[in-house]
């Protein structure tokens, strides 16, 4: 990699975790956005999907002050707003960076019941070249790591972890070749009954394998962003950890596994509530900012959008209310990114 390319990628990555800013994950697949729209009784048409994304991207205060980048779906990066403006242009006009989801989803891992491996490497070089021409300057690939139920320690298997991390590394190398910053997302799911210590163990193992694979693939870490889960108990666990314990174990896990060369870590919300995701991020930044070599920020989907979607309800007259809800959540997370959020601020909508 030339010094010029490394500087270009590093500049983008640093901008993605600028003070008070994080990433809006608006890359829901057609199936996922249908589920979101079903919850408000709205048909998932192309126009409705465009109108919803457009109202988010036109929320000027949020986009300019708190959103550094937006992850888009293939349909969205090609769409135009109702007035004919490309949605990518709305994002860049606000000073935010367009990104693109490029994986093809998690598929059953052969001969490993209950485990998934993410696919999408075939033809990826050519797709990335096109996405760069369409305006994307970063990309995202999500690996899904489940944890066995009822104390089953056979899931995740070493083989499944290694396969997913190898795919992430191959994707990341192809991104950098095409002048695109890769977000590497190894998500340990919080759907099970495991406790926080089991989550720590699996998260640390996955991250160490990931950085082995990235090294072998000659990926420049200075031009990457990590998008992991927080170290947190499964939703069905009998023992739910406190915010302080989540913060301490997450930071400790990352300090043991994530190289200092990585510019930033942007968390996925992973099914946490809007306020819980904000509070946990804030606690980490408030308590541990002085010992972390990377910036900790957010890359939230539902935790930025749930209130906005409910406020909108698919009705044009509700757009201002939906934008206000989105702006509030963006501002709360922007404060949490700097360790400056307090619960009382949630009432200042």
Q: Which residues are catalytic?
A: 185, 227
**Residue 148 region by backbone torsions, left for phi larger than 0, else alpha for psi between -120 and 50, else beta:** beta
Q: Which residues contact 305 (CB under 8 A, 6 or more apart)?
A: 24, 26, 36, 56, 326, 329
The dihedral sign for the CA sequence 110, 156, 115, 106: negative
The number of beta carbons lying within 10 Å of the beta carbon of residue 148 is: 18
Backbone angles phi, psi at 118, to 5 degrees: -85, 135
Per DSSP, 222 falls in state: G
CA-to-CA dists, residue 49 to 12, 159, 160, 181, 301, angstroms:
28, 38, 34, 26, 15
How many CB atoms lie under 10 A from the CB of residue 254? 24
Let me know: does 99 contact 69? Beta carbons within 8 Å: yes
Strand pairing partners for 265?
226, 296
Rounded Cα gap, residues 77 and 71, in angstroms:
9
Residues with Cβ within 8 Å of residue 233, at least 6 apart in sequence: 190, 194, 195, 196, 199, 239, 240, 241
Q: Cα–Cα distance between 111 and 238 in angstroms, integer?
A: 31
Gyration radius (Cα) of the chain, Å: 19
Q: How far apart are the first and last CA of the chain?
A: 46
Report the SS3 class of residue 342.
Answer: coil
At residue 265, what are phi and psi to the nearest 5 degrees?
A: -120, 125
């Amino acid at each position: 990699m030339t010094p010029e390319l490394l500087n270009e990628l590093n500049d983008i990555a640093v901008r993605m975790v600028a003070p008070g800013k994080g990433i809006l994950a608006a890359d829901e697949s057609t199936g996922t956005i249908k589920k979101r729209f079903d919850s408000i009784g709205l048909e998932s048409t192309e126009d409705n999907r465009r109108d919803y994304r457009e109202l988010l991207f036109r929320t000027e205060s949020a986009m300019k002050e708190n959103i550094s980048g937006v992850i888009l779906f293939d349909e969205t990066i090609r769409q135009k707003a109702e007035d004919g403006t490309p949605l990518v242009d709305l994002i860049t006009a606000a000073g935010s960076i367009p990104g693109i989801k490029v994986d093809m989803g998690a598929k059953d891992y052969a001969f490993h019941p209950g485990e998934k491996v993410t696919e999408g490497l075939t033809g990826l070089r050519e797709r990335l070249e096109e996405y760069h021409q369409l305006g994307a300057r970063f990309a995202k690939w999500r690996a899904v790591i489940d944890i066995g139920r009822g104390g089953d320690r056979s899931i995740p298997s070493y083989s499944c972890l290694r396969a997913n991390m190898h795919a992430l590394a191959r994707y990341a190398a192809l991104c950098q070749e095409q002048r695109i910053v890769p977000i590497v997302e190894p998500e340990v799911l919080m759907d099970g009954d495991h406790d926080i210590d089991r989550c720590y163990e699996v998260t640390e193992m996955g991250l160490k394998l990931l950085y082995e694979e990235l090294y072998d693939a000659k990926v420049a870490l200075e031009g990457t962003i990590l998008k992991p889960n927080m170290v947190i108990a499964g939703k069905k666990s009998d023992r739910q950890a406190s915010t302080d314990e989540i913060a301490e174990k997450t930071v400790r896990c990352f300090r043991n596994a994530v190289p200092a060369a990585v510019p930033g870590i942007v968390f996925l919300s992973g099914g946490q509530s809007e306020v819980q995701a904000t509070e946990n991020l804030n606690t980490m930044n408030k308590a541990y900012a002085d010992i972390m070599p990377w910036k900790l920020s957010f890359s939230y989907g539902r935790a930025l959008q749930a209130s906005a979607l409910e406020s909108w309800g698919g009705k044009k007259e509700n757009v201002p209310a939906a934008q206000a809800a989105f702006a509030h959540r963006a501002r709360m997370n922007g404060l949490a990114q700097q360790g400056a959020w307090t619960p009382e601020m949630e009432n200042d909508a």
